[in-house]
Amino acid sequence: MSALRWRLADYLEARNLTAYALGKAMGTSYMNTVYRMTRRGQEPTRIDLPTLLSVLDGLRKLTGEDVQLTDVLEYVPD
């Protein structure tokens, strides 16, 4: 069965960023959600689209880079 794999922890690590910094850049008060998304092996299996958009916007704000969905999620075929 195909799967989606989170790459957010890798993305943050490669840029020496923290989940806390991402949460602040996202402007969220739901830091537990941000921490869960960046905890390898314990990432959420479901996420709503507005939250995903906030992650991408927060990363853009932090890095000044053009961040794409494929930077934080990876499609893994069978």
Phi, psi of 5 (to 5 degrees): -120, 135
The stretch 28-52 carries a mean pLDDT of: 91
pLDDT of residue 30 exceeding 90, the answer is no
Mean per-residue pLDDT, 13-39: 94
Tell me whether residue 40 is exposed, middle or buried, using C-beta atoms within 10 angstroms of its C-beta: 0 to 12, 13 to 18, 19 or more.
exposed
Supply the pLDDT for residue 29. Answer: 82
* 3-state secondary structure (DSSP) of residue 28: coil
Residue 67 tokens read as 């961040």
**pLDDT of 7 strictly over 90:** yes
What digits encode the pLDDT tens for the residues 13-25?
999 999 999 999 9
- Altogether, the residues listed in the chain come to a count of 78
Mean pLDDT of the residues in the chain: 94
DSSP state of 55: H
